[in-house]
């Protein structure tokens, strides 16, 4: 690996972590309780795990130039892994067993407010701008 390529990877990780912290702050302001950051499970990594009421939200954080790019950045396989990881966590933690598991996207773009899309990849996800 070239030094220049290594530096790009380090910068991308730092940008991703910074985006996750901003996303967590945004969610806290919206009344969510953050249960975990970058949770590693056999099924995959969860950027943020949060709870609000009876919902266990698995939040995928994407920092892109626009919302469309953020939505496209999460593949169907990744969504399936995220859902399985959340379901596994919910069954192992007694306090989370009866919660509704939901996959959300929190997109961040330079100079814009964060965009939180609940149930981002289901048929009933809100249209762009409805967050």
Q: Where are the beta strands (DSSP E) in 1-131?
A: 33-41, 44-52, 55-63, 100-108, 115-117
Give pLDDT, residue 92.
86
Domains within the chain, CATH numbers bracketed:
3-117 (3.40.1350.10)
Give pLDDT, residue 14.
80
Give pLDDT, residue 130.
38
Give pLDDT, residue 126.
44
Name the 3-class secondary structure at 50: strand
For the whole model, what pTM was predicted? Answer: 0.80
Give pLDDT, residue 5.
61
pLDDT average per 10 residues of sequence, the chain (131 residues) = 65 82 96 94 91 94 84 84 85 87 90 88 50 36
User: Do residues 43 and 84 lie in contact, with contact meaning Cβ atoms separated by under 8 Å?
Assistant: yes
């Amino acid at each position: 690996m070239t030094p220049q390529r290594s530096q790009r990877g380090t910068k991308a990780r730092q940008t991703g972590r910074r985006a996750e912290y901003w996303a967590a702050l945004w969610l806290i302001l919206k009344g969510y309780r953050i249960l975990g950051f970058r949770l590693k499970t056999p099924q995959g990594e969860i950027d943020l795990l949060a709870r609000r009421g009876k919902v266990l939200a698995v939040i995928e954080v994407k920092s892109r130039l626009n919302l469309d790019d953020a939505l496209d950045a999460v593949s169907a396989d990744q969504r399936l892994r995220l859902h399985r990881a959340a379901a596994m966590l919910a069954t192992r933690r007694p306090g989370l067993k009866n919660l509704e598991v939901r996959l959300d996207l929190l997109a961040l773009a330079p100079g814009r407010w964060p965009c939180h899309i609940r149930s981002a990849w289901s048929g009933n996800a809100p249209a762009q701008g409805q967050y």
